[in-house]
Chains A and B, each alone.
Chain A
Amino acid sequence: MKNYWWKILAVVLLIYTVVGGMLQEVPRLAILNETIRNLYFHVPMWFGMILILLISVVYSIKYLRKPTIENDIIAYEAAKVGILFGVLGIVTGMEWAKFTWGEYWSNDPKQNASAIGLLIYFAYVVLRSSFAEQQQRARISAVYNIFAFAALIPLLFILPRLTDSLHPGNGGNPGFNSYDLDSRLRMVFYPAVLGWTLLGIWVVNVRSRFEKLRHRLYETV
């Protein structure tokens, strides 16, 4: 109970997200109509991605301070789950955009910037796989990971705000748009963000435990 309470929380929040997200009252908005409910599924992918990549970068820094196998494994697994969330975010965003903005890809600044951000992280995976030596791989990819995260933040949160964007909260409009402040949306949105993020952390947890086991197995054999 001590160690896995957050996993139960993740399950409860996700079930609440689906039930509440489909059945709760939502504001009536032109163009968006019922698709506003995507707020509970598309946006948490990006919030989750940022938080999980933050975990990744923290463990990369920890690795550079104290080079243990564990720090390296968690940094790598978190980066991979973060990439998964980012890909899901971009795909769900494209699906949503097709029916509200008219096109899957309309070269919106935030769309382009998030695509660049994801490419930077794809390069991280490629870079990692190009080293045969474990310590070299861990150290260089940890350094790269810090730069990748530092590039991602302005790409997602600063550059799209400097120009006109179809995304809410951009184009000189700081923070959330007025409809995001609707309390009915908030009631599901915040639990949704927490639930999806916890699910991602759960996957990181299982995967890194598995990798650690595999590493120990190789050590003993």
Chain B
Amino acid sequence: MKLFKLLAIWCFILGATAGLQPVHAQPGQSQVEYSATTAEADIEMADTLRQDGKIYVVVVVLLTVLIGVLIYLIMLDRKVARLEKQFKE
């Protein structure tokens, strides 16, 4: 149970810091030239996606899948640990 508590706290902290981080437009500061013809601002990026494209929904879904798989792995781990203990006795 200790593990789950720690996990929950970490998820919360990470989620909170990610939520607080302001997503600002990229300043035109690049030292590296990738192409001779295209200026930095001309390159298409998902700028509006960040403003109103609900990218956060995708992040939440991805996190749900990842955390689901991780919890599954943790449960499997504990199951094996329990078996190991039983075997010793």
* Consensus secondary structure, chain B interface: helix
Contacts of A203 on B, CB cut-off 8 Å?
A: 73
A27-B73 contact given A11-B10, A15-B63, A19-B18, CB 8 Å threshold: no
- Flag if B76 contacts A15 (CB, 8 Å): no
A74 to chain B, nearest CB (A): 14
B89 to chain A, nearest CB (A): 13
- Flag if B6 contacts A18 (CB, 8 Å): no
Contacts of A27 on B, CB cut-off 8 Å?
A: 30, 32
A34-B3 contact given A16-B14, A202-B77, CB 8 Å threshold: no
The 8 A CB mask of B47-81 against A (1 = contact, 0 = none) is: 00010000100110011001100100110110011
Interface size class of A (residues with CB under 8 A): 35 or more
A19-B10 contact given A4-B3, A33-B44, CB 8 Å threshold: no
Contacts of B26 on A, CB cut-off 8 Å?
A: 25, 28
Contacts of B80 on A, CB cut-off 8 Å?
A: 206, 209-210, 213
- Cα A28 to Cα B32 in complex, Å, equals 10
> How many of chain B's residues have a CB under 8 angstroms from any CB in A?
41
Please count the residue pairs between chain A and chain B whose beta carbons lie under 8 angstroms apart in the complex: 88
Nearest-neighbor residue (CB-CB) of B2 within chain A? A1
- Cα A7 to Cα B44 in complex, Å, equals 38
- Flag if A213 contacts B83 (CB, 8 Å): yes
- Cα A27 to Cα B11 in complex, Å, equals 27
Contacts of B70 on A, CB cut-off 8 Å?
A: 11, 14
A18-B43 contact given A8-B7, A28-B26, A210-B80, CB 8 Å threshold: no
Residues in B11-25 with C-beta less than 8 Å from chain A: 11, 14-15, 18, 21, 23
Contacts of A15 on B, CB cut-off 8 Å?
A: 10-11, 14, 63, 66-67
Q: When A and B form their complex, which 8 residue pairs have the shortest distance between CB atoms, in order from nearest?
A: A28-B43, A19-B18, A30-B35, A22-B59, A18-B62, A178-B32, A209-B80, A34-B46
Known: A19-B18, A33-B46. 5 other contacts (CB 8 A): A15-B14, A23-B23, A25-B26, A179-B32, A213-B83
